[in-house]
Structure 1
Amino acid sequence: MIAAELEHETDFGGWRRLARGLLAEAIAPDAVDWKIQGAPSDLLSAATFQPSAAKPASPMRVSKRFIDLARRTICHTDPQRFARLYHILFRLQARTLHIDQVTDDDIRWLMSCDKAVRRDIHKTHAFVRFRETGTDPDGRETFAAWFEPTHRTLELSAPFFQRRFPNMDWIIVTPDRTACWDGRSLRFSEGGQRSDVPPDDAVEDQWRTYFRSIFNPARLKISAMTSEMPRKYWKNLPEADLIPELIATAPTRARSMQAQPLLAPNPLATHLDRQRAAQAAPAPTLETFAGIRSAISACQRCPLCKDASQSVSGEGPEDARLMIVGEQPGDQEDIAGRPLMGPAGQLLDTMLAEAGLDRSAAYVTNAVKHFKFTPRGKRRMHQRPNAGEIDTCRWWLDLERQQVQPDLIIALGASAARGVLGHSVRISDVRGKIQPVPGGASLLVTVHPAYLLRLPDADRALTERQHFAQDLRMARSFLDGAVKGTNCREGNGAAKVT
């Protein structure tokens, strides 16, 4: 017999090196005794195997899938795992076994071990609870956690915490191994004891508060809960001491929830129902504002309608002397169905008031009527509409202009300017000038308020805000008649000046 000695219980690199050497010398699995360095051997006379440097190991012609399975299975607690893995490898090399031969006992054992290890990694990710231990000399927060996995999976599960908590120092102690992250490297050492981790702290109370808030008594299924949160983990979970009380009070709390009055329907669902009804209705006339808004709500002229919650029409007096055109609805506008009411719209309201202009007397709309965005996790990130989308939506903007017939249009940004003019312009070339446009109106092009919110430099942000305020004052002067326009209408009073 030959003794194959490994450094520790999860020494996959050592097992792989020795397995290659054993295969190179065609040593059968039954002739190998696998053991951990320093552990007593049943075969006192067995010679410790060392791969021959003179005889290079033959290449292992196995799939990457087997290597991945073996790397995880090494972390299983089965004491025969090293021998069985070498037995499977030997058979694969001899072409008497295939990795997809699921009816074979060796493959069934391999898949069963892999499943158990992967489940154990998942439970480690879910049930490790860190406790704050203070700060290090560099001011980084330090945390520690005690965990008892079923298998020796810490080396496979620790990189998850390295990616999730890169800016804090932490240590995870298990009976077999300890993982330590210091912000630069992830190190592993011998295992420890529960006493190596500090007692409860404020983070424990946060876990209890969180668990109590998400516990739904109306959907309690104890068998499903214990399947996903096995009782063997409860002793290390701070929130577990709440479970008996929450289970006992679940029926009473569920009846209390049922007795509560119904909540108002989700506004977004209401908007979607209205949109579907508008699409199914007969085509409206485009000679009135009501008809235009109804047609916009059912618009499918470009692909943006497929992802947005709803189209967003303009709002304001139908005879307003001032028309304000933004780029497109944002996330909040898409849900509420109103233009320019998010952070950029709130800034616009403030600066309009400072310039002596009343937003309620202006007609406010967008060059594009649907929200264009890119999903990022649970958030919808604004994406600038392209020229084709702006030109397609110009049909609706022209109809709104024909109905309102404003004296002055303020275009907020390059997209809005293209929607009004039908071609692209550089803001720096036309800003600060009031120019006539076809249709009997004048145009003032300025930046979009969202641009002011995105500026990281405080000094530049102040300068740009002052420039924007100057543009709005120019608009007021025009409407007051200080800048004479040939298209000013008298008597309608729609451009209220405060």
Structure 2
Amino acid sequence: MRVVTLASEDDFEGWRDAARGLAQAGVPPSEILWQVGETPTDLFAGEAAMPVVASRVVKVPPRFLDLARSAILHGDPARFALLYALLADDPRRIADPADPRVRRLEAMAREVRRDIHKMRAFVRFREVRDSPAFPGIGAPGVRYVAWFEPAHHIVRANARFFVERFATMRWSILTPALSLHWDAEVLREGPGASRAEAPGEDPVEDIWKTYYAAIFNPARLKTGAMLREMPRKYWKNMPETALVRELVATARQRETAMVAAHVRSGGDADAAWRALRDEAAHCTRCDLHRHAMRTVFGEGSPDARMMLVGEQPGDQEDLAGRPFVGPAGEMLDRAMAAAGIDRASVYVTNAVKHFKFERRGKRRIHARPDAGEIQACRWWYEQERALVKPGMTVALGASAARQLLGRAVTIAATRGRVLELPEGGLGWVTIHPSYLLRLPDRAKAEDEFAAFVEDLAAAAKALA
């Protein structure tokens, strides 16, 4: 048994030099014990000095070394042995994504990169005067101190980033295993620290929290995504996170107040609607915004007594930025004309404001929005209703009915009758006009069109 002792948990150079010699000598992975520090961890530690004689040349692809540099920083104690096993077998297997060792090492590298990003994003410096806690580190004066708890051994690897970013600032970063101290000229390392050694809040943080609260945009809030990118474990080190709970809890009230403020400022409903539309243009509440061309907001008079709610924009609506301008829109216009309803007198919108689709060659084929996407758009729908205050809201299709009623329903169970809505006004559920376009039987299509016209006419009569 050969014992290799590395200088530190992130000692890539030490691992590389030892691994190169062992691999060239053909030493199998099962005969090597990797450890960190000077304390032997095995009864075979005395055999660490056994000579190694090179018997072959090992060529290592650059990709292997790149992966090893990241994986070495991981907290898994098996990383050294796992890397050596791949090296001793055939380092060219690094190009094989099916190799379980490669998959495991790549997962380690991803977690390390994420931890490096978290440190850069969530380190918060606090101003302190030099004290005995930082002896001999530059001249006395103001120092900025931060506390961080990395998940892996990434502190040294991240040091250059902070030196370059805060080159003229005297700072210290304390972590449980290692501390970094920069005096604007020289970077020094120190022993690990405890959270108690890091300073509490400073006066500047009150200014920062005021600014953070002011720029917090409730319309762009995605709590799930926020927690994925900013896990709660980092909250205790960041001053602004003390505000997050309240800001999230009051997001809806803040949004409603935003719209109400526009209405109060002269009672201009058109101005309030334009402000709401402009805000929706930047909506990122769900992932649909990543692929759609634009937000397709509702249109029509804010004074309309009837609101029509469709499912989502289609391909042509996404390109034009207006609802119901494609084939389904033409079908809707025909039906409304037959029912005696002037489209200019109604407000038309969709339950979901972005086009969801699947690509088939060059074509974008409609895909049904799921419950989460409908819920993500619910606030926009509610604000449209708050501005328009329609006496009758007609849901076109199941997705629109779900938005109207706040729960999943079937068209068959709810169609053809007046519904009293909890927030005020009446509701009506019918089919979506795109359903008529999909019917292959001409006679059935005509019958269904006539029933659709009857629904619209009945909804208008109930409103009257």
Shorter chain as normaliser: what TM range? 0.5 to 0.7
- Based on CA coordinates, which of the two structures has the bigger radius of gyration? 1
Looking at structure 2, the residues matched to 210 and 31 of structure 1 have their Cα atoms a distance apart, in angstroms, of: 59
Identify unmatched segments of 5+ residues in structure 2: 131-136, 263-270, 279-464
1:25–1:59 CA distance, 2 compared to 1 (3 A): closer
Which residue number in structure 1 is paired with residue 230 of structure 2?
229
Which residue number in structure 2 is paired with residue 144 of structure 1?
145
- The TM-score, its normalising length taken from structure 2, stands at 0.52
The aligned runs of 1:360-375 (5 Å cut-off) are none
Looking at structure 2, the residues matched to 142 and 59 of structure 1 have their Cα atoms a distance apart, in angstroms, of: 51
1:149–1:210 CA distance, 2 compared to 1 (3 A): farther
1:24–1:240 CA distance, 2 compared to 1 (3 A): same
Looking at structure 2, the residues matched to 159 and 263 of structure 1 have their Cα atoms a distance apart, in angstroms, of: 49
For this pair of structures, how many residues does the alignment match? 262
1:44–1:27 CA distance, 2 compared to 1 (3 A): closer
Question: Counterpart of 1:226 in 2: which secondary structure?
Answer: helix
Contact 2:25 2:54 survives alignment (8 Å): no
Cα drift, residue 140 of structure 1: 6.5
How large is the Cα RMSD of the aligned pairs? 2.7
Question: Counterpart of 2:172 in 1: which secondary structure?
Answer: strand
Looking at structure 2, the residues matched to 50 and 168 of structure 1 have their Cα atoms a distance apart, in angstroms, of: 48
Contact 1:5 1:49 survives alignment (8 Å): no
Cα drift, residue 128 of structure 1: 0.2
The aligned runs of 1:50-89 (5 Å cut-off) are 60-89=58-87
Which residue number in structure 2 is paired with residue 98 of structure 1?
93
Question: Counterpart of 1:98 in 2: which secondary structure?
Answer: helix
Looking at structure 2, the residues matched to 137 and 84 of structure 1 have their Cα atoms a distance apart, in angstroms, of: 42
Which residue number in structure 1 is paired with residue 214 of structure 2?
213
Which residue number in structure 2 is paired with residue 2 of structure 1?
2
1:184–1:249 CA distance, 2 compared to 1 (3 A): same
Contact 1:18 1:51 survives alignment (8 Å): no
Looking at structure 1, the residues matched to 211 and 39 of structure 2 have their Cα atoms a distance apart, in angstroms, of: 45
Which residue number in structure 2 is paired with residue 169 of structure 1?
170
Q: Which amino acid in 1 is paired with 2:125?
A: F
Contact 1:22 1:51 survives alignment (8 Å): no
Question: Counterpart of 2:33 in 1: which secondary structure?
Answer: strand
Cα drift, residue 251 of structure 1: 0.9
Question: Counterpart of 1:61 in 2: which secondary structure?
Answer: coil
Q: Which amino acid in 2 is paired with 1:65?
A: R
Q: What are the Cα deviations for residues 58-82 of structure 1, in whole angstroms up to 9, with x where unaligned? A: 7652122221211111111101011
The yes-or-no answer on 1:111 pairing with 2:112 is: no
1:137–1:154 CA distance, 2 compared to 1 (3 A): closer
Contact 1:21 1:57 survives alignment (8 Å): no
Cα drift, residue 238 of structure 1: 1.5
- The TM-score, its normalising length taken from structure 1, stands at 0.49
Q: Which amino acid in 1 is paired with 2:166?
A: F
Q: What are the Cα deviations for residues 115-155 of structure 1, in whole angstroms up to 9, with x where unaligned? A: 00001101110000001123787587421110011111111
The yes-or-no answer on 1:243 pairing with 2:244 is: yes
Which residue number in structure 2 is paired with residue 429 of structure 1?
none
Which residue number in structure 2 is paired with residue 23 of structure 1?
23
The aligned runs of 1:482-493 (5 Å cut-off) are none
The aligned runs of 1:3-402 (5 Å cut-off) are 3-44=3-44, 46-49=46-49, 60-93=58-91, 97-134=92-129, 141-261=142-262, 262=271
1:223–1:137 CA distance, 2 compared to 1 (3 A): closer
Looking at structure 1, the residues matched to 214 and 55 of structure 2 have their Cα atoms a distance apart, in angstroms, of: 58
1:137–1:111 CA distance, 2 compared to 1 (3 A): closer
Identify unmatched segments of 5+ residues in structure 1: 270-498
Q: Which amino acid in 2 is paired with 1:101?
A: D
Identity rate, percent: 43
